[in-house]
A and B are shown apart, each in its own frame.
Chain A
Amino acid sequence: MGTRLKVLRVFKDLHKTRSRVFRDDDRALTAARLQINEEFKKNKNETSEQNIKEMLKMARAVETILRENVMQGEHVEENKVLLRPRESLLLDNVPYSDSPRNKT
């Protein structure tokens, strides 16, 4: 029963991340929603513990990638894209260092 809760939890998190990352973009929102639902429904009747664990890991990885590696941009003019960064993606303004000293 624990895995069932985990599956539902990751499903919910995926949808939440989807709505945050693709905010205001209806086409991407619906496409992502259908994709998530399809993938989950496809493997609904899986019984092997091992496979379920693998798929859970995959779902968690997808959610992380969406959250941390995908940024939204909006076309404002021809050849111009305005980025819409999310708060969590903005880093502090630290100057880039090619060979950073190890943290002590």
Chain B
Amino acid sequence: MRSGSLVHCGSGLRNMAAHIIARCVRSLNHRIVCFNRINTAATLAAAPLTHGRTFSQLINGHKSSLAQISGSSFQVFQWRQYGDLPPLTLETLHDRVLYVLKLYDKINPEKLQATSHFMKDLGLDSLDQVEIIMAMEDEFGFEIPDADAEKLMTPQEIVQYIADKKDVYE
């Protein structure tokens, strides 16, 4: 079970905080009862926030899950989630696909690009490609039929396919 984590602020923290928040929000889907509090308080040096920012999540079984982020400046959006996933954007989609691919042990993360072909550039075979597609199914939570799955040969194609299936426009 995840315990609360304390984030000390530094100047380049916003991206990290956003990343942690995104990851915490993703854990909403796993239905683990966890109480996560990130308190970025007095150690804020350069950030223009005037008051402490608290971020708390409560997951209550099947009931509604409520996430609130309040704060000024960086990327403020207040959202309520009633048991649904955060909205997908092309950029987050792309990042998540690349993240999952980098975790795969047969891929060299340095050589990975959006257009790298699994078989021609990365030297994988069809069995590895099946494993990759399965990892994508787990990550995004929906089934990809075999007929479509065997055609997806680059990260860009995967992003495009998921965007089509999940109606992600930009």
Binding site for B on A (CB under 8 A): 4-5, 8-9, 11-12, 15-16, 19, 37, 40-41, 44
Does A41 contact B146, Cβ atoms closer than 8 Å? no
A55 to B: closest C-beta gap in Å: 14
Interface stretch among B68-76, B84-92, B124-132, B162-170? Answer: B124-132
CB-nearest residue of chain B to A9: B146
Q: Is B139 an interface residue (CB 8 A)?
A: no
Chain B residues touching A, majority SS = helix
A43 to B158, CA, bound (A): 29
Binding site for A on B (CB under 8 A): 125-127, 130-131, 134, 138, 146, 150
A59 to B: closest C-beta gap in Å: 12
Query: Cβ of A15: which chain B residues have Cβ within 8 Å of it?
Result: 130-131, 134
Does B127 contact A8, Cβ atoms closer than 8 Å? yes
Q: A40-B127, A41-B127 are in contact. Are A8 and B134 (CB under 8 A)?
A: no
Does A8 contact B131, Cβ atoms closer than 8 Å? no
Q: A4-B126, A11-B127, A12-B130 are in contact. List 19 more A-B contacts (CB 8 A).
A: A5-B150, A8-B126, A8-B127, A8-B130, A8-B146, A8-B150, A9-B146, A11-B130, A12-B134, A15-B130, A15-B131, A15-B134, A16-B134, A19-B138, A37-B127, A37-B131, A40-B127, A41-B127, A44-B125
Query: Cβ of B146: which chain A residues have Cβ within 8 Å of it?
Result: 5, 8-9, 12
Query: Cβ of A9: which chain B residues have Cβ within 8 Å of it?
Result: 146
CB-nearest residue of chain B to A37: B127
A36 to B: closest C-beta gap in Å: 9
B143 to A: closest C-beta gap in Å: 10
A45 to B92, CA, bound (A): 39
B3 to A: closest C-beta gap in Å: 18
Query: Cβ of B134: which chain A residues have Cβ within 8 Å of it?
Result: 12, 15-16
A15 to B134, CA, bound (A): 9
